[in-house]
Amino acid sequence: MKNNVIRLAKLAAVACVISSTFAMAQTGKGGRFTIHNDTAKNTVVGFYTNDGSGWSTNWLREQLKPGETAGAQFKDATGNCNQRLQVGWLGSKGGEVKDDPIRIDICKASNVYLHDNDVSFD
Top CATH class of 2-121 equals mainly beta
- Quickly state the pLDDT bin for 14 (edges 50, 70, 90): very low
Query: Average pLDDT in the 24-40 region?
Result: 72
Distance (Å, rounded) from C-alpha 90 to C-alpha 88?
Answer: 7
What does the alpha-carbon distance between residue 54 and residue 35 come to, in Å, rounded to a whole number?
A: 21
CA atoms of 12 and 24, how far apart (whole Å):
18
Tell me how many helices (H) and strands (E) the chain has: 1, 8
Confidence of residue 4 (pLDDT cuts 50, 70, 90): very low
Q: What is the mean pLDDT of residues 12-16?
A: 35
Please state the domain extents for the chain. Answer: 2-121
Please tell me the distance from the alpha carbon of residue 28 to that of residue 79, in angstroms, as a whole number.
8
* pLDDT for residue 48 is more than 90: yes
H or E segment to which residue 103 belongs: strand 102-105
Output the pTM of the full model: 0.72
Please check the confidence at residue 35 and state whether its pLDDT lies above 50: yes
Q: What is the pLDDT of residues 64-95, one digit of tens each?
A: 999 999 998 877 666 778 889 999 999 999 99
